[in-house]
Each structure stands twice: as C-alpha cells, then as structure tokens.
Amino acid sequence: MKTIAITGGAGFIGSHVVRLFVNKYPDYKIVNIDALTYAGNLANLKDLEGAANYEFVKADIVNAEEMFQVFDKYQFDGVIHLAAESHVDRSISNPTEFVLTNVIGTVNLLNAAKKIWADNFENKLFYHVSTDEVYGSLGEEGMFTEETKYDPHSPYSASKASSDHFVRAYFDTYGLPTLISNCSNNYGSYQFPEKLIPLFINNIKKNLPLPVYGKGENIRDWLWVEDHARAIDEIFHKGALGSTYNIGGHNEWTNIDLIKVMCKILDEKLNRKTGTSEKLITYVKDRAGHDLRYAIDATKLQNELDWVPSLQFEEGLEKTIDWYLENEAWLENIISGDYQEYYEKQYEQR
Ligand code: NAD
Ligand code: DAU
C-alpha cells in the first residue's frame, strides 16, 4: 500500500489524474490536497465520492506549517504536484499571487517532503507537473526539446520556470528524488471556462462575442487532458529520477483556425446555418507579451516510456464540445459562482 499526495486534484488536469490513479491503483491511497480556489471544484470528482482509496484534504500549499502537518499525518510515499495558479491573463493582472502559489507553494512542498522523508529517499518520489511555456516562444520553425533553454515571458511562465528550477535544485543539492514534466496546452472536460476552448464553447452557445486576441495567429499545440494524465502515470512509475519529460500532442493550430472549427462543429450541433457562429468572432487587443508559438517534441517520452497520444484532435474536440453541451449544470454553476458560495459555507462550519 502506497500513499500518494496529488496537489491541485480539484482542478482541471488534477481531477483527471486523481480519477485515473484512484481507479487504476486500488492498492494506493490517493490524498487530494487542494485549497479550492476559484479554479478548484469538487464537482469535478463527484464520481469518486465514497471511493475507499481516496481522501480529500482542504489545505493551502502556501502555508508551510499546514503542509508539514498534512505530510506528517499521511507520511506520503510520493507526491504529484499540480496545484498552481494557471491562467496567463490572471498572472498579468496579479503576478504576486503566482509567485506565492507557484514558487513558494512548491518550495513548501519540497521542504515538507524532505523533512518527513528525513533524507531517507528510498522508494520516495516528488513529481512536479509543469508547462511548455517555460521555454518561451518559437518562431515558425523548430520545437521545444528537454534541452531548450528556459525563456519565460509571462508572470505565469516565470513562476513555473522558477518552481522547476527549485525542484532541480533539490535534486542536485539534497538528492531529493524528483521528476518534472512540461506539457503543452490541454483540452477536455472539467476545464475552467476562462481558458480558450471552454470559454468559446460557452460564448458560441449563448451567442456572445468571441474575443480573439490580436490577429488570432498565435499557435498552440493541443493535447487531450486524459492523454496528459496517462503520460503522468507512465512518468511517475517509470521515469528516470532527476530527469525531465516533454509531453505534447504534435497538434499545432493557429487560434483562429481552431476557433473556426469550433464554430463549424457548434453550428451543426446547435442546428444553426453554417457560418452563423463565425459572425461572433471579435478581434480584441492582444494579450501583453503574448507568446507566438508553442510546439513540443515528445520523442524522449515516446522512446523511453512508449507513450503516444491516444486520440486524434478532431475526435477529441468533438467529444469535448459534446461534454460541455451535456454538462450545462456544471458550467452554469461555475459561471454563476454558486459553487464557491457553497464551499465558503461548507468549510466555515468545520
Ligand atoms: P487549474 O487552474 O484548473 O487547477 C489548479 C488547482 O490548484 C485548483 O484545484 C486550485 O484550487 C488548486 N490550487 C491553487 N492554488 C492552490 C494553493 N495555494 N493550495 C492548494 N491548491 C491550490 O489548473 P490546470 O489547468 O489543471 O493545471 C494544473 C497544473 O498543470 C498546473 O501546475 C499547470 O501549470 C500545469 N499545466 C497546465 C496546462 C494546461 O493546459 N492547463 C498545461 C501544462 C501544464
Ligand atoms: O501551454 C500550456 C499552457 O496552456 C498552460 O501552462 C496554462 O496553464 C494554460 O492556461 C494554457 O495557456 P494559454 O495562455 O496558451 O491558454 P489560454 O486558453 O488562455 O489561451 C490559448 C490561446 O488563445 C492563447 O494564444 C491566447 C488565446 N486567447 C485566449 C483567451 C482566453 C484568445 O485569443 N482569447 C481569449 O479570450
């Protein structure tokens, strides 16, 4: 029996990782540590309520003492760290929040792990989940490899880059057994509707403007979230300690092409005349410091751990659109903010 901490498990990617681990490994106890910020939602894990090998702990990774107490209580064998402030636009308006959660929070977790493991690191593992944005922006050619020099541009990517450096520093300095993965843009169910794909699905459905930053020429490399969770599973169990793995879908789209495909699919699903939803496209002021292009070379992961994405993008996008159309109550609950009021009340009483 192993006890594994997954931080940020109530968020978008974290909820998929928790679900995969709880269902696939009945002999692991999975402890989901999440502060339930605006982005954390336990409705993302409703299907796991009552699972014998799952527990939720509401705690803030920025609070060092609280983290140590949680680690001391559960004596984790492994940590998969996803908790973060994750939205680039929010990092532009409030960078300090990103330093606290992404940098200080990560260092608190490293310290808590180092302390409870008391420098006896056998069969222990600290796995840090990071982003391709640490590598900066590509021109028309090339891809990010694990050797690409870090060159972050947004406060979000700078904070993630800093946290990656701390994880490597703990491996080099203290011998803490660590792993890092850097993944491209994820899409799929349970993504908070501030991010491009769920935001635009919701706006198309409601006939609201689709705010395209700049000319819509920026390129992102999209990966289905469940394929990211599968990659995390492979890396956690088979990755070479101290190393880094890039994860990506080989699936580059300009924003505007992607948005037009979404408009077309939704015209069909909502029984609208072809071209109706495209009329909602509205070009707005560009995001400050907007990275032009991300593209991941995931050859190392494929060669060493035999991982490849399972789903073609067209299929994944349609599945995702169907999920948001079918889960209107989940989306509306978030947009109205009802779920946050509920948490405030629920946890006040404890
Ligand atoms: P998300 O914003 O959907 O979820 C983040 C989760 O972390 C939420 O549940 C939130 O409540 C929790 N959290 C935030 N601050 C916390 C704190 N102080 N203490 C405890 N919990 C806290 O994020 P996501 O999109 O699921 O991303 C998860 C991780 O994966 C992040 O580390 C992100 O940098 C990384 N990542 C994301 C993408 C992507 O496309 N979304 C791609 C690559 C890497
Ligand atoms: O690359 C991985 C990263 O992908 C993750 O580390 C981040 O956590 C995640 O948020 C995501 O970052 P992006 O900034 O690429 O994702 P976002 O969905 O915010 O935007 C995708 C693209 O769409 C980007 O070029 C900006 C553009 N955009 C976004 C929004 C929200 C618009 O044109 N209009 C919008 O309203």
Which residues are CB-contacts of 210 (< 8 A; sequence separation ≥ 6)?
A: 200, 203, 204, 259, 263, 280, 281, 282
Helix axis angle, 328-336 to 196-205, nearest 10°: 100
39 and 91 Cβ atoms separated by less than 8 Å: no
> Which residue's CA is the nearest one to ligand 2's atom 25?
218
- Mean pLDDT by groups of 10 residues along the chain of 350 residues: 97 98 98 97 96 98 98 98 97 97 98 94 97 97 97 98 98 97 98 96 96 97 98 98 96 98 98 97 96 98 96 95 97 86 69
Residue 156 among the catalytic residues: yes
109 and 81 Cβ atoms separated by less than 8 Å: yes
Of 101, 130, 187, 213, the one to substitute when testing ligand 2's pocket (max ligand atoms within 8 A of C-beta) is 213
Q: Is 223 helix (H, G, I), strand (E, B) or coil?
A: strand
Distance CA 136, CA 68 (A): 33
How many Cα atoms occupy the beta-carbon half-sphere of 10 within 13 Å? Answer: 23
Distance CA 86, CA 92 (A): 12
113 and 69 Cβ atoms separated by less than 8 Å: no
Express each pLDDT in 234-276 by its tens digit: 999 999 999 999 999 899 999 999 999 999 999 999 999 999 9
Express each pLDDT in 287-332 by its tens digit: 999 999 999 999 999 999 999 999 999 999 999 999 999 999 999 9
CATH class of the domain comprising 2-188+223-250+289-313: alpha beta
Residue 283 among the catalytic residues: no
The Å distance, Cα 18 to ligand 2 centre, comes to 23
Question: What is the pLDDT, as a whole number, of residue 279?
Answer: 98
Protein residues whose CB sits closer than 6 Å to any atom of ligand 2: 86-88, 131-133, 184-185, 195-196, 199, 211-213, 218, 220, 255, 287, 294
Q: Which ligand places an atom closest to the C-alpha of 259? A: 2
Distance CA 221, CA 267 (A): 24
The Å distance, Cα 77 to ligand 2 centre, comes to 34
Q: Active site residue: 132, 164, 226, 233, which one? A: 132
Question: What is the pLDDT, as a whole number, of residue 87?
Answer: 97
Question: What is the pLDDT, as a whole number, of residue 349?
Answer: 58
> Which residue's CA is the nearest one to ligand 2's atom 4?
185
The model carries a pTM of: 0.98
154 and 92 Cβ atoms separated by less than 8 Å: yes
The Å distance, Cα 15 to ligand 1 centre, comes to 10
Give the pair of three-digit tokens for residue 319. 């599945």
Q: Which ligand places an atom closest to the C-alpha of 257? A: 2
Between strands 252-254 and 219-224, the pairing is antiparallel
